[in-house]
Amino acid sequence: MLNFEFHNPTHIVFGKDTVPSLNRLVPHDARVLILYGGQSAERNGTLAEVRQALGDRAWYEFGGIEPNPSFETLTRAVEQVRTQNISFLLAVGGGSVIDGTKFVAAAAKYADDPWRILETVGSVIEDALPFGAVLTLSATGSEMNFNSVVTRKATQTKAFFASPHVFPKFSILDPTKTYTLPPQQLANGVVDAFTHVVEQYLTYPVEARVQDRFAEGLLQTLIEVGPKVVHEPADYDSRASMMWAATMALNGLIGAGVPQDWATHLVGHELTAQFGMDHARTLAILLPSMLSIRRESKRAKLIQYAERVWHITTGSEDERIDQAIRKTRAFFESLGVKTRLSGYGIPADAIDGLVQQLQAHGMTQLGEHSDVTLEISRQVFEASI
């Protein structure tokens, strides 16, 4: 096991009918800004519940945070925070709204150009407004971590930052809040959480037995409940297991003390930037090819993955690896997520441009061994046609 530090102070309130606990969790003298995305939070009644729980606190609202939240939009929210003298932020939504709220929380307390927060990957953050979250979409784990991704619309740059100052104070996870989501978003959430686990698990062995077992447990859970989440409209148990699995997939726990990869995410960002493709769909396309092409450096863990997650124990090593990758792909497809570039109408001749963009963004040495070169990324794209 590698040396590590683990610290996650977010207070989780999980279960049915938990939105009223806002009254206990938000300071009574707070001036609250509720941040949300589109109109679904209004339509499905969550915003009304939130307003009621806040009682006679002074609250204001900022809507319109996009999927891939933009620096431009969030900068307007920061202005509103200052104008209205806000003391507490409340994100109501999924990963994009929570990521955006993290940026607003940090930028509101930062005197210089807020773009510096992204340029420095968060290292300039010394303070942030406190904030909580009401989660309405399981996928990114943002509800229990200190990471955020913000996009600059002007340049289509996806920028990541992290800081212990932007842990949510609390997150309310009510699985019933996901009942009204469309199947595509639900499927995206399962693929996203699954890939988060794989990025922290499928590297090379370091005798981190607890982390491996936990990662395998999350993958098994997602495999078991994923199809129900997507195809059964209001099944509480599967939504609850999905919600908790997605949170645990990226709250720092399974990644503590182990090497991490993240090449699939970073290469996938170019597909989103160039074609506006949903983040999770980029992962579904690239992950199977990534695992297949990088099988030598991942061999020991791929065989462990085949055995413990997919119960594949016969055949040569490469046959077991191939079978595990086929099953991974079939799992994504079973959720209604296509796993080939061609399924999204992206032609083979787009690959040159994608590789050029990887180069322009400095993505030339990715993965747990920094050995995912542009040439490897090209092979991954080609194997994903």
Positions that interact with its own copies (CB under 8 A): 1-16, 18, 207-214, 216-218, 220-221, 224-225, 237, 240-241, 244-245, 248, 256-257
CB of 169 to its own copies, least distance (A): 10
Q: Which helix (H) or strand (E) holds 60?
A: strand 58-62
Count Cβ neighbours within 10 Å for each residue of 305-329 and write b for 16 or more, e otherwise: bbebbbebeeeeeeebbbebbebbb
What's the distance, CA 136 to chain centroid? Answer: 14
**Nearer Cβ to its own copies (49/322):** 49
The DSSP code sequence of 231-298 is HSTT-HHHHHHHHHHHHHHTSSSTTTTS----HHHHHHHHHHHHH---HHHHHHHHHHHHHHHTHHHH
Q: At what angle do helices 183-201 and 263-275 cross, to 10 degrees?
A: 150
Whose Cβ is closer to its own copies: residue 115's or residue 244's?
244
As given in the structure block, the two tokens for residue 259 are: 């090497």
Q: How far is the CB of 17 from its own copies (least distance, A)?
A: 8
3-state secondary structure of 207: coil
In whole angstroms, how close is the CB of 301 to its own copies at the nearest point?
16
Q: What's the burial of 154, exposed, middle or buried (CB within 10 Å: 0-12/13-18/19+)?
A: exposed
Residue with tokens 């900022």: 62
Find the shortest distance in angstroms from Cβ 52 to its own copies: 19
The answer to whether the beta carbons of residues 41 and 62 sit under 8 Å apart is no
Cβ-based nearer residue to its own copies, 206 or 374: 206
Q: How far is the CB of 166 from its own copies (least distance, A)?
A: 15
Is 98:91 a contact under the CB 8 Å cutoff?
A: yes
CB 248, CB 173: distance < 8 Å: no
- CB nearer to its own copies: pick between 2 and 348: 2
Smallest distance from its own copies to CB 244, Å: 5
State which amino acid sits at residue 88: F
| C-beta closer to its own copies: residue 11 or 378 | 11
Q: CB nearer to its own copies: give 82 or 213.
A: 213
Minimal distance, residue 1 CB to its own copies, in Å: 4
Task: Give the residue ranges of DSSP H helices in 276-316.
Answer: 279-293, 295-310
- Which residue, 210 or 330, has its beta carbon nearer to its own copies? 210
